[in-house]
Structure 1
Amino acid sequence: MCEVVVLHDGYSFVNNDGEMIANCSCTLIKGPHNIIIDTMTPWDSEVILTALKEHQITPDDINFVVSTHGHSDHTGNNNLFLKATHIVGFSISFKDKYYIHPFEKGEEYVINDFVKIIPTPGHTLSDVTVLVKSEEENIAIVGDLFEKYEDVNNQSIWQEAGSEDPIKQVKNRTMIADIANWIIPGHGPKFEVTDEMRMLLKNQTTLGA
């Protein structure tokens, strides 16, 4: 069984000077494999190291690093974890060795009996989501497929954050909500998925719905 720990809640907002202020959620999965997902900006190494220490984890204990996509706020501290296999979007590597996996054909990548990675393009064309079976619940760590809880009702939040394929993003948001009990979004706290939310997402079949 796995334990899912949010090490840092992501955020995004525009300050009084009109500047975008943002950082991503960073999540630890403890289990048969220790996995860290989305390693924040390059200025956050101490934040991550301190949070890992609180859970008796060192960088060398991490088996997989997953960046849900390749943007700088999701990959900034990948180099702390030099004993891990790295998965950045659809790319899988260890040191200078790269491994081919057909994410682009919709195929999932299974890490163990509790954790798998599935392609969820939209925000970028190579976005992935980490699905965790924890006790009787499914937890989805989705990167910027969902920016935050508020974008379920207000689609302009994720649209304005950038989407390389909005049609695929709508489809994959609905798909994830159908299978997850909890979502850890890219730039907000973890939230529970309700039947009302699932129905709302199903109804959002066109942009601006």
Structure 2
Amino acid sequence: MGTSGSEVSGCLQAVCVPQPELLFPGEPYSVSVLKVGYCRPQADGSFRADGTITLLTGPTTILVDTGGPWDRDFLLTCLRDRSMDPGDIDWVVGTHGHSDHIGNLNLFAGAKLIVGYDFSEGDTYRQNQLAQGLPVPIAPQVMVIPTPGHTGQDVSIQVKGTFAGTVLVAGDLFECCSDENSWRDVSMNPAVQEVSRWEALRTADVIIPGHGPPFRVIRN
């Protein structure tokens, strides 16, 4: 879904506009991008990648994706810079199970965890309705929403009440603002993911993708 815009059902048009901001203040929740993810093809056919790391602060403190294991020191430093440590994180949400998104879960043993459709506290797993296509609320303004396609159990986190409007921390539902059709190459189910993407474009004002900076959605 690139900057040129697209159409679905003959009516909705959405244009993705890159945003330089990494902080989206709000009431009661603010959204801060700690690390912008990336994906860089290499000459030998491999690629270097790391997932976006996002922190939600408010009545509850929520970390969305933890980056890869190589991000451990970086993540701890980011928390220390905010006078926090892993024990201050109430929830960790892994948008899906790839290593560049959940590589540091072990730092947050005391947090409630949602990884894909699994909801756990320690070794206790809680029933939830994500697999039935229904959201799980963390707070009245924060919902974990099933957005499958990239894998079979992707989730995104919807945050309402920021000064920028509704922010969606989307994991790899979107690779980046200008991912055009490249997202299809790494999608388990492109048809399902396309539906998830259009719902995101319909409802979010700002999207934080898995491998690029945030972007604003302009609807016509």
- Taking structure 1 as the reference length, what is the TM-score of the superposition? 0.89
Instruction: Give the aligned partner of residue 168 of structure 2.
Output: 140
Paired position in structure 2 for 1:150: 178
C-alpha displacement of 1:179:
0.7
Q: How many residues align?
A: 192
Distance in 1 (alpha carbons) for counterparts of 2:38 and 2:154: 19
Helix, strand or coil: the match of 1:43? helix
SS at match of 2:69: coil
Inter-partner Cα distance in structure 1 for 2:129 and 2:33: 29
- Equivalent position of 1:103 in the other structure: 130
2:116 corresponding residue in structure 1: 89
- Structure 1, unmatched stretches of 5+, are 197-209
Instruction: Check if 1:125 corresponds to 2:152.
Output: yes
Q: CA deviation at 1:64?
A: 0.4
Name the SS for the 2:48 alignment partner: strand
Residue 181 (structure 1) aligns with: 205
List aligned pairs for 1:44-83, cutoff 5 A.
44-83=71-110
1:65 is displaced (CA, Å) by: 0.4
> Which amino acid in 2 is paired with 1:180?
A
CA distance in 1, matches of 2:66, 2:207: 18
Match of 2:184 among 150, 159, 164: 159
Q: CA deviation at 1:194?
A: 1.1
**Deviation at residue 146 of structure 1 after TM alignment:** 0.2
Indicate whether 1:5 and 2:32 are aligned.
Answer: yes
Percent identical residues: 42
| CA deviation profile, 1:141-190 (whole Å, cap 9, x unmatched) | 01000000111xx21x1012x21111110011000111101000000011
Q: Deviations over 1:47-89 (max 9, x none)?
A: 1011112222211010000000011111100111121001000
Where is the strand percentage greater, Structure 1 or Structure 2?
2
Give the counterpart letter for 2:34 in structure 1: L
1:190 matched to 2:217: no
After TM superposition, give the deviation of residue 104 of structure 1 in Å. Answer: 1.6
- What is the distance in 1 between the residues matched to 2:171 and 2:213? 12
More deviation, 128-137/177-186: 128-137
Separation of aligned partners in 1, 2:128 and 2:62: 19
**Alignment partners' CA distance in 1, 2:191 and 2:107:** 35
CA distance in 2, matches of 1:2, 1:78: 23
Q: Which amino acid aligns with 1:53?
A: R
Instruction: Give the superposition deviation at 1:19.
Output: 2.0
How far apart, in 2, do the equivalents of 1:181 and 1:55 lie?
26
Higher helix content, 1 or 2: 1
| Greater relative contact order structure (CA < 8 Å, 6+ sep) | 2
Separation in structure 2 between the aligned mates of residue 55 and residue 195 of structure 1, nearest angstrom: 35
Q: TM-score, normalised by structure 2?
A: 0.85
